[in-house]
Each structure stands twice: as C-alpha cells, then as structure tokens.
Amino acid sequence: MRALLALAATATLTACAAGSGSAGPDIAPTPTVATARVVTNAGSTVTAGAMNIDLDVKLAVTGTPEQAWTALAAVYQELAIPLSINDAANKTLGNTGWRVRRSIGRVPAQRYLDCGSSGTLANAETYQLSLSIVSNVKPNPRGGAIVTTALSGTGRNPITSSSADVRCVSTGDLELRIREMVERGIVR
C-alpha cells in the first residue's frame, strides 16, 4: 500500500511540475492542481492532491511603468496592506511580514488563500495569517508594463496552544485584483 501511495504521490507531483511551465512576459502562469485517486487492494480509495505554490504572477497592464507604479501604490493603500518594502528605484513594494486575520482589503481571506480547513471552516477564515505580498513593475517589451505579484504565507490556529503553522497557497484572485485595480488607476 505504501508503495502504491508513493507511486501516486510521485505521479501527482510530476504532473503538477510539468504543468507549471514558464509563461510569456504578458501571460500569467496558471497554478496547476493535480489530484490522483488510488484504489487499494482492500477496495478503499485514497485521494492525494498537489498544487504548484508560490508563483510570481505576471500580468500585463496598459500605460507606462511609471503610471503603473503610481497606481500600484494607491492599490496597496486601498487594500489596507501596510508597506514594509517601498523601493521606487526597482519599482517594488509590498509587505513580507504582514500579520492579518479574516480579511484582506475587506474581502474574506479564504478567497485569496487556501490554508486547508478544520472540519467545516476554511483555516484562512479563522487562523492568524503571516503573509508576504510583494509586487513589482517592469516594462513590457510589447508595450505597457508588467505587474508581478507574489503572495505566500502561513496560518496558525489562535485558539489552540499549537505552535504548528500551516502553509497557505494563493488562489490567484488577489494577484488578479491587484492587476485590475492598477489598470483602473492608469485609465483614470
């Protein structure tokens, strides 16, 4: 049985890695989710899942890199994400140690993060989250700019005395929202 599970996990991770190829400068890589279902000799089933994590999502916007940079600062302010990084020379800003609970920019955290679940509730909804959200603006060789955002983090149950953190992965929705907000800021 262990050999079968190891084989299934290897196949799942290989499929996941194969689907996470490099994207062009104006196309966002798509997180790949792979699920394998294994039937054991006893007839029971085991499901194993894997997801590509910690992607830098690259999204094209219109306007110059300077316009996108100005709009990006306003986006972080509107999302109420405090800045611990504000590097105008490299057009990089974000926060690598942000502690938050329940919501990001007035949106439930579970829409942006998957931290697993504890029964019926998503951990991103109830756990204390430690996040890294960093965005960067670069010129797009095809015109306009590219906004790259990386979101990763961990969560910890604030109720139990456990000091174990769970890994949180991005759903990709926050990166898309940041891009849409930057685009709206440029168009104004």
The pLDDT of residue 54: 52
Q: Which amino acid is at 100?
A: V
Strand partners, 168: 153
Mean pLDDT, consecutive 10-residue stretches, the chain (188 aa), reads: 39 38 42 55 62 66 93 95 96 94 90 87 89 95 92 88 83 92 86
| Residues 112-124 pLDDT 10s | 999 988 778 888 8
With a pLDDT cut of 70, the percent of the chain lying above it is 70
Backbone dihedral angles phi then psi of residue 168, each to the nearest 5 degrees: -110, 135
The pLDDT of residue 50: 52
Number of Cβ within a 10 Å radius of residue 82: 11
- For 89-98, b/e burial (b = at least 16 CB within 10 A) is eebbbbbeeb
Backbone dihedral angles phi then psi of residue 179, each to the nearest 5 degrees: -60, -45
* Tokens 């929202």 found at: 177
| pTM of the complete model | 0.70
Q: What is the set of domains in the chain, with CATH numbers?
A: 1-52 (no CATH), 53-187 (3.30.530.50)
* Tokens 């700019």 found at: 145
